[in-house]
């Protein structure tokens, strides 16, 4: 089981869109996938068409922080199944409180790790964590339990600002946890035909030649249209973004084999 965080403290760069589309593409490649919505905004849950009646990551985090354990069946009840084949655990605004209560919780950086350790081993090939747009304790919890991070970067002005800070946060966690955490790759998102967009992609490829994905995700309205109906782009016919995320996942699986 490999746990991958999709992270960037910058908002609106395509993290949640990447999680749902990557999950659908991994399923198409025969992998079993659990997505964790770890953002109090709950956008991934909305993208998945969540109906709001199952325990959330906020509930699981709170139980674990308060009592050191989950109540019976809480985790299995929290797992929702999406018709495209991936599972997910939803989040809503209750997760926002975690930033406050975690401060006084023992092993506060490891609460998500303890939650996920309750999953039966081998249940999933991949767990994808949709991180919130911040560098706080939620992100640290996600990084601590992950072995890899994918950083979506929006191909727009000021895209590279803050990347070093994120790298530093990842390195700090890697140092403490014994160094298993690494950046899997940087994924250029919302790429269009403007000069600025090409400039950002070029800068990424020259600054991070090995890390930057060859696949670029275009800026296209279908990205928003699909998730507005609770689907990935892979569920749309002849979707450009769907084939781009499929190519991205093939690259991801290739990198893994190396």
Question: Which residue ranges make up the site for ligand ATP (CB under 6 A)?
Answer: 11-17, 39, 41, 43, 133, 189-190, 217-220, 223-224, 227, 241
Residue nearest to Mg ion (CB): 16
C-alpha–C-alpha distance, residues 81 and 173, integer Å: 31
Among 5, 10, 15, 150, binds Mg ion (CB under 5 A): 15
Nearer to ligand ATP among residue 26 and residue 44 (C-beta) = 44
Nearer to ligand ATP among residue 16 and residue 105 (C-beta) = 16
Nearer to Mg ion among residue 70 and residue 90 (C-beta) = 90
Least separation in angstroms between CB 152 and Mg ion? 10
Helix (H, G, I), strand (E, B) or coil at 32: coil
Nearer to ligand ATP among residue 219 and residue 255 (C-beta) = 219
Smallest CA-to-CA distance from 5 within 109, 103, 144, 117 is with: 144
C-alpha–C-alpha distance, residues 15 and 36, integer Å: 12
Q: Is residue 16 near Mg ion by the rule CB under 5 A?
A: yes
C-alpha–C-alpha distance, residues 189 and 248, integer Å: 11
Nearer to ligand ATP among residue 39 and residue 84 (C-beta) = 39
Least separation in angstroms between CB 244 and Mg ion? 18
Nearer to ligand ATP among residue 27 and residue 217 (C-beta) = 217
Least separation in angstroms between CB 44 and Mg ion? 6
Smallest CA-to-CA distance from 90 within 125, 121, 48, 124 is with: 48
Least separation in angstroms between CB 65 and Mg ion? 23
Least separation in angstroms between CB 90 and Mg ion? 13
Least separation in angstroms between CB 167 and ligand ATP? 17
C-alpha–C-alpha distance, residues 167 and 8, integer Å: 10
- The item of Mg ion, ligand ATP, none sharing an interface with residue 201, based on CB under 5 to 8 Å by kind, is none
C-alpha–C-alpha distance, residues 92 and 220, integer Å: 27
Least separation in angstroms between CB 42 and ligand ATP? 10
Both tokens of residue 158?
């000021």
C-alpha–C-alpha distance, residues 23 and 35, integer Å: 7
Both tokens of residue 185?
């790759």
Among 3, 14, 43, 232, binds Mg ion (CB under 5 A): 43
Q: Is residue 10 near Mg ion by the rule CB under 5 A?
A: no
DSSP 35-99: EEE--TT-HHHHHHT--S-S--HHHHHHHHHHHSSPPTTHHHHHEEE-TTS-EEE---GGGGGHH
- The item of Mg ion, ligand ATP, none sharing an interface with residue 190, based on CB under 5 to 8 Å by kind, is ligand ATP
Nearer to Mg ion among residue 82 and residue 114 (C-beta) = 82
**Helices and strands (H and E) in the chain: how many:** 11, 7
Helix (H) or strand (E) segment spanning residue 173: helix 163-177
Q: Give the binding site for Mg ion (CB under 5 A).
A: 15-16, 43
């Amino acid at each position: 089981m490999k746990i991958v965080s999709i992270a960037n403290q910058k908002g609106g760069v395509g993290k949640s869109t990447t999680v749902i589309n990557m999950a659908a593409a991994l399923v198409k490649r025969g992998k079993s996938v659990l997505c964790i919505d770890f953002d109090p905004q709950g956008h991934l849950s909305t993208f998945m068409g969540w109906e709001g009646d199952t325990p959330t990551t906020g509930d699981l985090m709170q139980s674990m922080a308060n009592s050191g354990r989950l109540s019976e069946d809480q985790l299995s009840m929290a797992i929702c199944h999406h018709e495209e084949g991936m599972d997910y655990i939803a989040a809503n605004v209750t997760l926002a409180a975690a930033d406050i209560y975690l401060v006084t919780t023992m092993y506060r950086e490891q609460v998500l790790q303890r939650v996920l350790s309750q999953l039966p081993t081998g249940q999933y090939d991949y767990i994808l964590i949709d991180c919130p747009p911040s560098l706080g304790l939620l992100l640290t919890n996600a990084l601590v339990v992950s072995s890899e991070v994918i950083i979506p970067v929006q191909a727009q002005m000021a895209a590279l600002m803050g990347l070093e800070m994120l790298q530093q946060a990842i390195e700090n966690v890697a140092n403490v946890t014994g160094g298993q955490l690494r950046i899997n790759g940087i994924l250029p998102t919302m790429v269009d035909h403007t000069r600025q967009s090409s400039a950002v992609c070029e800068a990424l490829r020259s600054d991070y030649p090995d890390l930057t994905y060859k696949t670029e995700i275009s800026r296209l309205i279908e990205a928003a249209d699909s998730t507005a109906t609770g689907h990935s782009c892979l569920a749309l016919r002849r979707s450009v973004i769907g084939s781009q995320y499929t190519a991205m996942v093939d690259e991801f699986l290739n990198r893994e084999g190396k």
